Amino acid sequence: MATKFITAVGRRKTATASVRMIAASKSSVMVNGKSVKDYFKTSERAKVAEEALAMAESAEHYAVAAHVEGGGIAAQADALRHAISRAIIKAEPGTRAKLKAAHFLTRDPRAKERKKPGLVKARKRKQWSKR
């Protein structure tokens, strides 16, 4: 018999994280085949990724396997936090209020503005010369 797992997807900017969460006696968070500390080189990013588990006080109850792609390291960490938060709510609906108050369930809509034709960047123009 196969073990049941919970899936969820989280996004931030152009980063996407898909998570599989399994009830386990020993907790672990694996990102793209590496531990979360190895994948996110700085402890700050690893902490952001695991914040949802700590907030829900269920860090020691689940093993998380995540696939993250796109964006930068910071956006990937935020996308992973978003995905883990969504998975925790599926497993433990009582934690929703706590995670929602911490804004872990809100998909951050901010993204890079597209470049317009005739401009250098989205809004930056070439310097205007009178003569």
What is the average pLDDT score of the chain? Answer: 92
Mean pLDDT of all residues in 78-96:
94
Average pLDDT, stretch 19-23?
93
pLDDT tens per residue across span 40-64: 999 999 999 999 999 988 767 899 9
* Paired strand residues for 66: 19, 31
Model pLDDT, residue 106: 95
Percentage of residues of the chain with pLDDT beyond 70: 98
Catalogue all structural domains in the chain, each as residue range(s) with its CATH number.
6-101 (3.30.230.10)
**What does pTM read for this prediction?**
0.89
